[in-house]
Every structure is written in C-alpha cells, then in structure tokens.
Structure 1
C-alpha cells in the first residue's frame, strides 16, 4: 500500500485534514446503483435521485472531490497528501427488500447484477489512474457464507457482465473474482481488498481462511477487518453489552487477523475503529472507549499480526469523532509519526 510502516487513517470529512499527519482517509460509497445507465453520460441528476453519483456537484463528482481534498492535505503548513480508501457498499441496497437473504439472492438476478456491475465500472472509471484503495462490500460475504458454499451460491456473473467477467464462474466466488479483475482493468493503480466478514470466526478460523481464498483473496491486495462499530460507552447506554476490550480479547483478535493475512498473503486493514477514550463523559459525541489508546500502545503486536493500516472513524451516529474526542486521536497520530512509525511485518 505504498508505505513501510503501519498506516494511520481516519474517516473523510468535508474539510482539509491538517490537525495530524494522517496517511489515509476513508469514504463510503453507498446507495443503490444508478436507476438508469443514461446517468453515466448525463450532465446533471434529476431532483431526488438516490445515487452516490449525484454527490459532489457533478455526475460522479464525489470521486475527484474527495481525491483532491486528500491530495491537498497539509500538516504544520507543509504538504501531507493522504491516500483515499473507498468503502464500496452497494450490494446491501441492490434488492428491493433489504433483508440479508434478498441481498444474496439479488446477485442471481441478471437485471439487478447488470445494474450493479455497470455502476461499479463507472466508479472504477472515475478513479482511473489514481492511487486509491477500495474496500469491497462490508457484510455481503458474511451473508453469502451463511447462505451456502461460496463456490456454489449462484450469481449471474457472465450474463451481467460478459465484457469484463465472461470467464468467471456464475457464483458468489466468481463475482468476487470479477470485482477484483474489474479493478485491475479500469483502475489499475488501486489497491483492492475484500471486506473480511466471518461472524463465526471464533473457533472456525480455518473455514474463514478457506472461504477467503475461494473468494480470490490471494489475488487482492489486502483484507479489511473491523472491531466494533460503536463506542463502548454508547453500546452500554443502549443496552448492547460490554464492548470494552481486554488484553486477552485483543490477543485473540490479532491472532485471527494474522492467520487470515497469512492465508491470503496480504495485510489486514482495520476499518472504522471507534474513537472514544476514557476521558470522555458518555454524552453524545463524547462516549468512552479504549481501542485508540490500546492500539497505539501496542503497535508492535499490531504489526506482528500483519496489520497494514488502522482506520479510525465513527461507525454510528452519536459516537465520538476525531473532532470531539479532546484531541486524543490527533495527539496519538502525531506522536506515532514523530517516533517514525512501526515497520510492517
């Protein structure tokens, strides 16, 4: 991913990032596919169109807008450009009914999958030769694993995109291979990763590893892991249990990521890590959590698990942000970079 040390990133915001020397930022691309392929060559979107391509002031303008903002980032008055990681998240909105079973069966409908792959091609074409990163489809591969064997779950890949993926299998595994191949063709300088979603991984890591090899993980550039989507203090307030993490829980998690990284031969990018810290007071946007502080104080263990990047961000409304955490994430990032970073392993 272009660095010799573990990258530190944060969620993208509508402003230049100048408070700390972040290496990267991530931006969701989430909506149903374009309702008509005519939009790809249109000059503007009809009012009320629910499509990511209508954001950013022009058709597909989100891509160059975020890329330019990342490229123009500064720190201490000097240029400090950041890599953009796109979280491509469309399959959950492909089916008319948003249930996980419909999400998986939708890829076996030629019309729906055609719209989806056309949209993905347009997205890649907007990236073009930029040196971005792409995180492919949070949740979907976990849902597909629950539906059946990934090399048997049906998907109408060749009918939906004979031009780019006519040689791929008509399965969910074939679709994953297709997405990676399309990235290589239309956005050749991007690093592309499959989102790692194995909800049954405790005690079942070998099966998870086998599944991600089947999905084409060896042909990607990284896998995307995650921890919790919400600060522990907010989880507790909402009655969702204890999501503070002990040293033992971290050791187990890191061992899992290490095994997965070694199975596919590529590093783990940890995505959307809660930003709260123990100095917060458990009010809106100021909830407690322990993950920022733990990770920055155990970077050797993090790197030994083949983690290549830590991406911090708010995964749910009301969670703590980098702008509301009292400066903790900024301070930790500055200290980390001033110390030279932690070499990748």
Structure 2
C-alpha cells in the first residue's frame, strides 16, 4: 500500500529578493550545554498586554498550562505526557466533483485508481484499506490521539500540493479555477466531516495567506481573484470572489461541519517581504511589521478564528548552516539579533492585533548534542522553548508544537531522546500557566 508523504516541503529561494539578509549569529551554547538564560532587553515584558490572552482558550480545551506537542510516531506519542499530536494533510485531490464514496471502485486521483490493487492513490481520503469508508486516515489519527489523552491537531496544506503549479505565485492561479476550487473546497468539507463533533485543532493552509499578501503589489486580499461563489455556492455563495472571501468561506465551513473544533490561520514572519525572524537591525519596528501581517489576516477572516499559528523555521539551523551556508540561528542569550526575544515580540504583536492567542508550530527538533548531519541536525529551539515557557506565555502564546519541515530534518525519533526528556521535565516542573504574574 502506498505510503503518503506527511512532511511539508518548502522552497523559498525566490524570497531572497527583498528580504533582509540572514546574517544570523552562532549559538553560544556548546554541544550538551543548557541554553542561555536570556537577558533583559527588547522583547517580552511580563505583566503587560497579551500575557493572559490564552487562558480562556486553554480552559476551553480542558487545560490550564501551555500545550506541548509534536508530529511524531505512535511510540513517541506514548513515551511522554504530550498534550497535542499533529498531522499534515498534504496530497492530491479526487478527480470527481465531490469526495469519493468508496475507495475500492470508481475513485481516482490524477487518473490513478484509489483501490488497494492500484498503483497508489494521490488522495489522502483513500490512504487506508479500501473496504472501509474513505477518510479512515484522519478518523484513525483522531482516535489514536484521543486514546493517549492528546488533542488532535490537523494542518490542512492542500492547495499547493493539489494545484499542479510551482509553489508561490504560480499556485495562486489555481484559486480562480472554479473546477479546481470546487474539488478543493469539497475536500475541505470532507475533512471537516471526518472531524465531525470531535474536539480538534485545525490549521488552515500555512504559507498560502503569506503568499496572498506577498505577491500582490498592494498586499491586499481583494487583489487576488478567487472563484469562491462558483466553486461552493452552498456554503460560500455570499462571500467575495477574492482571497478575503476564500478565508471567510473556509472558516465558516469549519464552524458548520466541525463545530467543536478550534480553527486558526497561519501568520508568516516574511509575508510583508521583510523576514522579521532574521532581522539584525535593533532599530527595526517589529510591532509595526507584525501589524501589517495581522491586518491582512483580519481581512481574510481571522477575527472569527480561535487562535493563530506562528513558526520559527521550517528547517533545523544546522541544516541551513551545513547545506545552504546560511546562518539562521537565534541567539539564546538574547544579546545579538536575531534572537528569541525579537521573535516573541513579533508574535506578541500578532496576538495583540488579532486579539487571539498564538501557538508555536513546526518548531525544529535539533539539539546541540547531535552530529549535524542527515536527520541529526543541531538547533536550539527545543531546549530554549521548553526551558523558557514563561517568555512564551508572556507574549500571549498558548503552546509549542515541534515537527520536521521535511524528511531530511531532525525528528522526535532521531533527536537522541531530547524532546521526550524536555517534555517530561517541563511537565514534572508543573508546566506553565498562560498568565504570567
């Protein structure tokens, strides 16, 4: 049976023009050292602004401490008290106008049969035994997470994967193809129906909202034509035919078909053509840049969401250093930009503008004891986040989810047990409340 790709792969080479240079800085920790303690300076000031923004959100999930989770295998999920387990939905679509009723017969994706006897189905809905109703891939994931007392988190990353276009500006052209968008929104509806009445966290299309802001000259969602009404008149017939209408449509569909799920959009630090996560200028106005991203997300419906996701990097810093000759480290002493406090300041401003808590997602899994080679890259995010949770809480964060951005990166299964060790220590210490005294 065909094994689906579960890791999002991103290529941002085109972003080099117009972005701040990734001059970075080396991690001052030596292999095996604890991360830096941090210093006073630009960044989060406990007790001001958004630090309690996430308390209500966590309570609604039956939690009172910042969430910790990962994309991980079953054995890892059972080895530590994780709060969240996440999954990617990133694949092709069915060829019919609506989701298939059977995987065994009459269902194809890109012309290939979705039966188990076929060459392999590109649609995630049939990644299963073909005698079961389609969608078992997601239903089984939700059950596995629940059986471990974990909240299922699903990242819907389908538009680029299914569009047939190159990533970035080209993929956006598919949004104004009513035939494609009809199948795409039918797939989103099908996913939501698999979630049904379950409690889950849903992230809608990371990166896509950033591309929709990045490429139009005016940076407005109304500037990208999207065939919303023709593609889904039933659920979205009153929405605008542009990116704003698409975002509001997908959020409204989540409320209709998965009413107990929490839904969030993704805020990208590079959406404005200035990558704040790599900024080295101490005079740069991080809050103003964050507000530009937040204002765009508000136009596509973020006011009606429950949370917003943010990320540090899609790759381990050691991978960038060794394979791309780029310094993407954040200084754990918070003395030299770019550093953690700058990233937390940006995330805090996003939360404040949206009036939504943020959740750190797809954080790299490397650590400084690794050999800095394939699937064993060095990074310092796991160690910093899980030993400085009060800084995350003070900025309005409600948790941290760790995961590899592609198959070459460090995973919870290749990190030498560091994530599991850190999660156990975080939990043994009592976790971190959303409200910082």
TM-score w.r.t. length of structure 1:
0.93
Deviation at 1:16?
Answer: 6.8
Q: Deviations over 1:147-175 (max 9, x none)?
A: 32113321111111111111111110110
- The answer for the alignment partner of 1:213 in structure 2 is 298
- State the match for 1:243 in structure 2: 328
Equivalent-residue separation in structure 2 for 1:51 and 1:43 (angstroms): 10
8 Å CA contact 2:396–2:434 kept in 1: the answer is yes
CA distance in 2, matches of 1:278, 1:173: 42
Query: Deviation digits for residues 112-140 of structure 1, max 9, x if unmatched?
Result: 11110011001101110010111110111
Contact 2:348 2:396 (C-alpha < 8 Å) held by counterparts: yes
**In the alignment, is the contact (CA less than 8 A) between 1:94 and 1:103 conserved in 2?**
no
CA distance in 1, matches of 2:180, 2:416: 45
Structure 2 CA distance for partners of 1:297 and 1:153, relative to 1, 3 Å: same
Q: Is the 8 A contact 1:15 1:69 kept in 2?
A: no
Deviation at 1:15, TM superposition (A): 4.5
CA distance in 2, matches of 1:337, 1:254: 22
Q: Which of residues 267, 270, 273 is equivalent to 2:360?
A: 270
Q: Residues of 1 paired with 2:413 and 2:73: CA distance?
A: 10
Change (3 A) 1:288 1:119: same
Q: Which structure 2 residues correspond to residues 94-109 of structure 1 after superposition, within 5 A?
A: 94-109=162-177
Corresponding residue number in structure 2 for 1:116: 184
Seen in structure 2, the aligned counterparts of structure 1 residues 261 and 19 have a Cα distance that, compared at 3 Å, is same
Q: Which moved more, 1:320-329 or 1:93-102?
A: 93-102
| Match in the other structure for 2:66 | 6
Match of 1:107, SS? Answer: helix
Aligned equivalent of 1:63? 138
Question: Per the alignment, in what secondary structure is the counterpart of residue 319 of structure 1?
Answer: coil
Counterparts of residues 192-207 of structure 1 (less than 5 Å) = 192-199=263-270, 200=272, 202=276, 203=285, 204-207=289-292
Runs of 4+ aligned structure 1 residues displaced above 4 Å come to none
Which is worse superposed, 64-73 or 42-51? 42-51
Query: Cα distance, 1:240 vs. partner?
Result: 3.8
Q: Per-residue CA shift, 1:278-305, capped at 9, x if unaligned?
A: 1112132221111111111211111111
Gaps in structure 1 of 5+ consecutive residues: 74-80
8 Å contact 2:103–2:126 — kept in the other structure?
A: no
Equivalent of 1:312 in 397, 402, 415 = 402
In the aligned structure 2, how far is the partner of 1:331 from the partner of 1:198?
30
Compared with structure 1, are the counterparts of its residues 43 and 109 closer, same or farther at alpha carbon in structure 2 (3 Å cutoff)? closer
Please say which of residues 86-95 and 55-64 is displaced more in the overlay: 55-64
Count of residue pairs brought into register by the alignment: 338
Q: Is residue 402 of structure 2 the alignment partner of residue 329 of structure 1?
A: no
Match of 1:191 among 262, 278, 294: 262
Q: 1:326: how far off?
A: 2.0
Residue 123 (structure 2) aligned to one of 51, 72, 75? 51
DSSP-derived class of the 1:135 partner = strand
Q: Deviations over 1:287-329 (max 9, x none)?
A: 1111111111211111111111200111122322212222211
Q: Which has the higher contact order (CA 8 A, sep 6+)?
A: 2
